[in-house]
Amino acid sequence: MKGIFNFIFNNAIFVIFIAAIYYIYRQYKGLRDRDRDIRLEFSKILNGYLDKKFTESLDIAKEIEKEYGNVDLIRQEIERLQYSIEKGVNGSINDKVEASNLLNKFKLNKEIDKEKYPNLKDLENIGTFNEEEMASVDNGLAITRKAYNALAFRYNEKANEFPIEYLTKFFKLVPQYAIFEQRKNSTYEENFEVFEEKEPEINSLSTLNLTEEETTPIEEPKPQEEITEVEIEHSDEVLKPTTTIVDNQANSDK
């Protein structure tokens, strides 16, 4: 044991270097495992689902372009939308998630008269996640999307730790994963757990930390019964002791 301590003391720099290498390796391994989990979760449903949505969106954009493409302002909006969609087609996970977020937030230029071009509403309603699909329990879309967001959030936290945050490119890992955002016009809400602080109840024993003796209820004094005054009649007549019993006792002794 003494020899080990002497070796560590004499080779402190070398030991620190080895410890640092091991620590970085552990961080890299943990981040790589999380990266693998994200890719696996994304490939289950989201990858194919988003590719299908992107294809449908491009078809709608092309139909609108044929109808209103001669208007410069509308053509510019359609090209902007197509650029957002094409960014996600055959792209990385981040490209697909970012393209999905752009589609869900897409809004036409306010200068465009939507009443004059009613079919343009189809462009704003493209989106990638709608209420019906998210509410369905058959496709598992809502669960998978939520699971991906949770994994990506944990990955991003780990990737921000020192010193791995400076080595992600060296290890060919994703620096940060994009998170699916809420659709702007959607009424869908994810069921994230929210912890709210509540004011303590005044009568809560756990909050007041009272002892058993202190928590014993104090009995209120019972109301005393009303004492009715009894009137005693006094008489001035003086009662004299009788001698009849004494005389009878004396005769019996004889």
User: Tell me: the pLDDT tens digits for 215-241?
Assistant: 455 555 555 555 455 454 544 454 445
Distance CA 64, CA 66 (A): 5
* pLDDT > 70? residue 171: yes
pLDDT by residue (tens digit) across 80-106? 888 888 888 888 999 999 999 988 888
Collapsing DSSP to helix, strand or coil, 69 comes out as coil
Q: What pLDDT is attached to residue 51?
A: 93
* pLDDT > 70? residue 199: no
Q: What pLDDT is attached to residue 231?
A: 52
Considering only residues 140 and 38, tell me which one the structure prediction assigns the higher pLDDT.
38
Distance CA 99, CA 42 (A): 15
Distance CA 109, CA 167 (A): 42
Q: What is the mean pLDDT of residues 169-173?
A: 88
Q: What is the mean pLDDT of residues 14-31?
A: 87
Q: What is the dihedral of CA 166, 168, 94, 41, to 10 degrees?
A: -130
Q: What is the rounded average pLDDT for all residues in the chain?
A: 75
